Structure 1
Amino acid sequence: MLSQGFVSAAAIAASVLFVLSLGGLSNQEKAKRAVWYGIVGMAVAVFFTAFGPGIGAYWLMIPMVIVGAVAGAYVAKKVEMTEMPQLVAALHSFVGLAAVFVAWSADLERRRVLAARALDAGAEQFSAFAALVATKAPDELMFLQIEVVLGVFIGAVTFTGSVIAFGKLAGKVDGKPRQLPGGHLLNAGAAALSLLLAILYLNGAGFWTLLLIAALAFFIGYHLIMGIGGADMPVVVSMLNSYSGWAAAAIGFTLSNDLLIVTGALVGSSGAILSYIMCKAMNRNFVNVILGGFGGSQGPAAEIEGEQVAIDAGGVASALNDADSVIIVPGYGMAVAQAQNAVSELVRKLRSAGKEVRFGIHPVAGRLPGHMNVLLAEARVPYDIVLEMDEINDDFASTDVVIVIGSNDIVNPAAQEDPNSPIAGMPVLKVWEAKQVFVCKRGQGTGYSGIENPLFFKENTRMFYGDARSSIDSLLSQID
């Protein structure tokens, strides 16, 4: 068993590695090395925690670690990049549920310590955690109770919220916002009742209060995320990531685990900052998003005139052959069709023909921040031609051809033209300003968020229907 000095030193080293990992992920070229920082940091954290002072029951721990490692490796190999958003949401739910269970266990141990004190039982009667609790003064036990309440509430909200987010991202739950009658009043009532139960618990009420707090928080997590539409799901995933971090930090305080506190705080703060950045990029109010659109715009959306005009692969190829400048705007449709390699080959052929080809990436393209960047990097698209919205938005007016691959909301002019649109005010890629726009799309549906797009009806837009991968493949043989 390792000494506390070794464990403390390892915690510092792992924390530094986690900070380096987060910092490196801001740059595509450094991201691979940053991921390894995180892997090594987590390995160090797990090893030194498992073999630190006061840890036992290895006969149970080691098999559980092996089972978890095998399950993780299996899922990592099976899950495609297109399914990564829902996988992240599912993993958030695990963190939340773990926080609830640990908090419940901590309170049961606290009650055991108090009962043992009343019977003058010796310290040998305690588990490692209970022995730690036994050293706490009454005022310190009050702080422990507060940590337990926070762990149960935040963890339960994170669990059910993440489960619903997983369902929406996976298409198993309707992506449209739905709430029970009473809407936000139900959420507010559940939160107020949770606070009342927490006060009762802190004043000596039984374990039943924690069970009821968890049940109410489970409902709040479910109802909040059900009330959020598909257009805001990238923000929701980031927000739930933040929640899982704060739940872990609360449990870190409960367990007196410095590394868990630091790790949870890093995840919680970075997730909150990312959520804020994404809301700013979408011109959304952060509070409105997390409350399911409370106070959002209301009213009927503007009617769209005209019709969608289709075009075949020959027509698109002809326009590309005549063009000097091309911008490609990828969205989740590219991910679903796994068309990134075909797109990369198209880019290679166009650039070989002397054409300027670039990508326009919206901050919330796909269903997870950075989703499109990862796919393009995987397909070996050069980093220097992958530009963010602010870098490329002014160039559409001087661009010959724009190819939109499976995007809807991020290229929707209604965001700027229709104040009653669900995405009103959201900054979008102004693809309609280009000379010609080709939209690669499976059919005439409104897409995941259910929002109609006037772009598809504009005179300079042609709809290139079909699976994105097959459609792009059909262009390759016709590019000069």
Structure 2
Amino acid sequence: MTLSYMFAALLFILGVRRLRSPETARSGNSLAAIGMAIALGVTLLDQRIVSYWEILVGVAIGSVIGYVSAVRVPMTAMPQMVAAFNGVGGGAVAFIALAEFYQIHIGQVAGDRADVFFILAGILIGSVSFAGSAIAYVKLEELFLAGSVTFPYQKVANAGLLGAAVLLGINALAGGPLPLLSVWLVFLIALTLGVLLVIPIGGADMPIVISLLNAFTGLAAAMSGFLLSNEVLIIAGALVGASGTILTRLMSSSLGRPLNKIIFAGVGASPPAAAKKEEDEKPVNSVTPEDVAAVLNYDADSVIIVPGYGLAVAQAQTLAAELVEVLERKGKVVRFAIHPVAGRMPGHMNVLLAEADVPYDKLLDLEEINADFPETDAVIVVGANDVVNPAAKDPNLDSPISGMPVLDVESARRVIFIKRSLSPGFAGVDNPLFYQEKTMMLFADARQGLQDVIAALKESG
């Protein structure tokens, strides 16, 4: 059994390694899936299993839910699905830990203080992940709790709840009075903490929160592995926890803000209504698809396309790929600039464009392409705002995106926005680039706008 677990763990590690590149990500995902199948198969041979029927019923129900969800979910809703599945993992760990403590409490199984410690850690971390992921899901789905939700003394309340959970955990660990009640209270407090930690987070920072909660679930799973003496669960949980932590730090650096500011400060609120009214009165250069086609035909030899969440919502990735083909037939050099937090989860734009068979070498990240914008004739921004907003670099402006590294599209000779309106992006910050003379605003959703521009390019020969 141990050798099988080690082999499964090796496949996990190789799978995670291959997820680093879009070219190898599919095979990496397959390797990890094979490793998980081996781990599950070997675990089912464990002599401690009491009822295979209950396990099979659970597997059947979970498989149906997972398959239906994976097939039906659109790419635009992938962040919500990741949050939901991540929350389910955290919740599973918390309930397993609760069940284990109950068995120890009634004397059904033996347990020492190390076991109780892992139980408490699994309950605390898993419950925070479960509740936080649930809130992330409803915020991303825009069901309720949109924007940044704060209240007076929120940080004090969070600190008080965490302190209470620690004291109750110490009571249970030391064998104090009412240990079972203490553990249940830790569970309820952790659920409340998960909610309170995520409700202040605005849309611009949601990719980071998803990564952090993913790390929490991995850590909770590792705690569960120690509790159950299951090597593969320890390794898999540690891998998820470590990779989630690394990704969280990378995303935090991409936003240009310390992680503690993201987690403990309410962000994402929209600008005041009066400010929006003043912005709406600014003149803009509204253009037609024919105007855009003329610029691309005669004034642009080098073109960079910046995709955003609007492209994902409109499912316009195949049209973006078609635009590249049309422009390249005209002798233009075309590339994509991918911001680390474009969309609502890391790698969102890369997955969309790979789905449309855009060559991987055309997908360049912020560090690779930012220096090229001053030498670029035209930039086409499709359904993006925050990741190209120069307001992020304004030292006199305190906003949800202040300090966030952005794509320097304002340095290009011409900037073309395909956008439905002048409404600010997910972070609620108006973009001064909309009102510059060199900016062309094609007001349309990503799909219709790209279709019209492609048609105009083809008609112009």
User: What one-letter code is carried by the residue in structure 2 that aligns with 1:75?
Assistant: S
* Selected match of 1:60 from 44, 49, 54: 54
Per-residue CA shift, 1:419-468, capped at 9, x if unaligned? 42221111100101111111111222213222222121222112211110
Equivalent residue in structure 2 for 1:168, among 139, 162, 186: 139
Mapping for residues 40-59 of structure 1, pairs under 5 Å: 40-59=34-53
Q: Is the 8 A contact 1:165 1:233 kept in 2?
A: yes
**Range with bigger deviation, 439-448 or 26-35:** 439-448
2:297 matched residue in structure 1: 321
1:416 equivalenced with 2:384 (yes/no): no
Q: Which residue of 1 aligns with 2:84?
A: 90
8 Å contact kept, 1:326–1:402: yes
Structure 2 runs not aligned, ≥5 long: none
User: 2:309 is matched with which residue?
Assistant: 332
**In the TM superposition, what is the alpha-carbon distance from 1:293 to its structure 2 partner?**
4.9
CA distance in 1, matches of 2:351, 2:214: 19
Deviations 1:379-429 (A, max 9, x none): 001111111111111111111111111111110101112442221111100
* Structure 2 counterpart of 1:121: none
Matches within 5 A, 1:29-428: 29-113=23-107, 130=109, 134=110, 141-204=112-175, 205=177, 206-293=179-266, 306-322=282-298, 323-417=300-394, 418-428=396-406
5+ residue gaps in structure 1? Answer: 1-6, 114-125
Q: Tell me if the contact between 1:419 and 1:425 (Cα under 8 Å) persists in the aligned partners.
A: no
Amino acid at match of 2:152: P
Determine the C-alpha separation between the residues in 2 that align with 1:75 and 1:420. Answer: 40
- SS where residue 357 of structure 1 aligns? strand
Q: Distance in 1 between matches of 2:286 and 2:223?
A: 55
Tell whether 2:419 aligns with 1:441. Answer: yes
The answer to whether the 8 A contact 1:155-1:244 is kept is: yes
1:260-287 CA-partner distances (Å, limit 9, x unpaired): 1110000001000000011111111012
CA shift digits 1:34-84 (9 cap, x unpaired): 111011011111111122221230111112111111111111110011111
1:183-204 CA distances to partner (integer Å, 9 max, x unpaired)? 1111111111111111111122
State whether residues 225 and 292 of structure 1, in contact with CA within 8 Å, keep that contact through their aligned partners in structure 2. Answer: no
Please list the CA deviations of residues 224-244 of structure 1 after superposition, one character each: whole Å capped at 9, or x if unmatched. 110111110111111111011
Amino acid at match of 1:63: V
Normalised by the length of structure 1, the TM-score is: 0.90
- Alpha-carbon offset, residue 170 of structure 1: 1.3
Structure 1: distance between partners of 2:425 and 2:62: 36
TM-score, with normalisation over the residues of structure 2? Answer: 0.94
Of 8, 11, 15, the residue aligned with 2:9 is 15
| Runs of 4+ deviating beyond 2 Å | 290-294, 299-309
**Counterpart in the other structure of 2:409:** 431
CA distance in 2 between counterparts of 1:423 and 1:11 reads 44
- Relative to structure 1, the CA distance from residue 174 to residue 461 in structure 2 (aligned partners, 3 Å threshold; closer, same or farther) is farther
1:454 aligned partner: 432
Q: CA RMSD in A?
A: 1.9
What amino acid maps onto 1:468 in structure 2? A
